[in-house]
Amino acid sequence: MNIYDKLLKKDAQLAVIGLGYVGLPIALEFARKIKVIGFDINAQRVEMMRNHIDPSQELESSAFEGCDIEFTNDLEVLKKANFYIVAVPTPVDEHNVPDLIPVQRASETIGKVLKKGDYVVFESTVYPGCTEEDCVPIIEKISGLKMVEDYKIGYSPERINPGDKEHTITTITKVVSGCCDESLDIIAKVYELVVKAGVHRASSIKVAEAAKIIENTQRDLNIALMNELSIIFDRMNINTYEVLEAAGTKWNFLKFQPGLVGGHCIGVDPYYLTYKSKELGYDSQVILAGRNINDGMAGYVAKKVLQHIIQHNGNVKDAKVLVMGATFKENVSDIRNSKVADVVKELKSFSLNVDVTDPHASSDELKHEYGFALAEKTANDYDAVVVTVPHNEYKKMDDAHFASITKPHAMVADLKGIYRNTITSRKYWSL
């Protein structure tokens, strides 16, 4: 009996290592079909999940109901599994160099619990070759087992979009790969248990790793083009969103928009590809150009605000700015790699007084991660308001609201254009 059949009969267990935005939804989905162990090194998070609370605030408590799952941070419990899915984060450091420490530590954990006949599938975003060249040696050094001969390994990139209730693990085609034909077949069948949209069998682990990288690199470059266009159109005194609306009437025009590019994927993944590319002797040009544009948007926005304040307020140090939105995208609590933090940092570097609000973000997390907290209350005399993220709560606000919290000469910087043709009593600007 193979491992797939054992999982179906609950004679074997599947384990998910790393229960964040990606890992927890995967674990719960599988737990509706088979026995699952949810493993996380954070004991506090484990306890929350035992009480049907998602630490990432993405899932309701009802998502835990009807699930055959055991949450743990104990390696002895983890050893009971036979099929391991690794879903730990893969960030970049302050120099935009891939930080493989989380995935390396996960590999060490796997090495401590791995047994003959077990399967390991990595979902963490990595550069092509990382699974076989970086993770496998760690696993084999600790376990003493050999890939293919003793255990099987595969890669299946995560495609979960935080905050997106339509495109979920079950509705997005799953790319799968394995170290041999047998492993590919088993891994595909296991994921087909939960992925209604079906699976795509990649020809190799490297191909699957590369596919994930270029998905987000493509989006990053398209947004970079929009950001560069917005800079050009601003100098022409043309509203970018009006241009995009007009151009979008053509059937094959791709409807991307300008904005801050952060989060744990789009603003990070391209650096994994360019890092590996440089290691192999090729310096990326187009990809890094897009990254430079997008990473520079925070400074560009801050300078536009500063210019307005200098023109209308003689003393910059007395000026007050409200930044609305701190998460990396709308309607989520995730602040990882939020470029709003860069906007705040740039504004403060000009000695401006900055308040930050966000209906979804945690003030404590912001303080810990970026050194600033959410304002306890807002003022009524801001010189500028920067709306960075189009939360649903913000979309309900109107011209009267902004008039009530700002000085008559204030500017409303609406980065995503949600108040276009709405703000009339104050200076309006958007990307």
- Write out pLDDT tens, residues 195-215: 999 999 999 999 999 999 999
Burial grade of 377 (CB within 10 A; 0-12, 13-18, 19 or more): exposed
Q: What percent of the chain has pLDDT over 90?
A: 87
The pLDDT of residue 74 is 95
The count of other CB atoms within 10 Å of the CB of residue 87 is 25
Task: Report d(CA 230, CA 227) in Å as an integer.
Answer: 5
Cβ proximity of 328 and 268 under 8 Å: no
Q: What confidence tier does 150 reach under pLDDT thresholds 50, 70, 90?
A: very high
Task: Report d(CA 382, CA 193) in Å as an integer.
Answer: 54
- Write out pLDDT tens, residues 37-56: 999 999 999 999 999 999 88
The pLDDT of residue 360 is 93
- Mean pLDDT of the residues in the chain: 94
Report which of residues 267 and 397 the model is more confident about. 397
What would the mean pLDDT of 390-413 be, rounded to a whole number?
96
Please provide residue 268's backbone torsions phi and psi, each rounded to the nearest 5 degrees.
Answer: -115, -50
What would the mean pLDDT of 160-187 be, rounded to a whole number?
86
- Write out pLDDT tens, residues 81-98: 999 999 998 988 888 899
Q: What confidence tier does 163 reach under pLDDT thresholds 50, 70, 90?
A: low
Q: What confidence tier does 316 reach under pLDDT thresholds 50, 70, 90?
A: confident
Least confident of 78-82, 107-111, 309-313, 340-344: 309-313
In the chain, the domains with their CATH numbers are: 3-203 (3.40.50.720), 228-430 (3.40.50.720)
Minimal CA–CA distance to 412: which of 393, 387, 394?
387
- Write out pLDDT tens, residues 350-396: 999 999 999 999 999 999 999 999 999 999 999 999 999 999 999 99
The pLDDT of residue 318 is 87
Cβ proximity of 418 and 385 under 8 Å: no
Least confident of 114-123, 260-269, 414-423: 260-269
Could you list the active site residues? 265
DSSP SS3 for 304 = helix
Cβ proximity of 337 and 91 under 8 Å: yes
Task: Report d(CA 91, CA 89) in Å as an integer.
Answer: 6
- β-bridge partners, 321: 354, 384
Q: What percent of the chain has pLDDT over 70?
A: 99
Burial grade of 10 (CB within 10 A; 0-12, 13-18, 19 or more): exposed
377: which DSSP letter?
A: S
Q: What confidence tier does 336 reach under pLDDT thresholds 50, 70, 90?
A: confident
What global pTM score does this model have? 0.91
Given a cut of 80, whether residue 168 has pLDDT beyond it is no
Report which of residues 332 and 248 the model is more confident about. 248
Which residues have CB under 8 Å from 74's CB, separation 6+?
none
Burial grade of 131 (CB within 10 A; 0-12, 13-18, 19 or more): buried
The pLDDT of residue 162 is 66
The pLDDT of residue 167 is 72
Q: How far is CA 109 from CA 14, 41, 102, 153, in A?
A: 15, 10, 11, 15
CA 236 to chain centre: 34
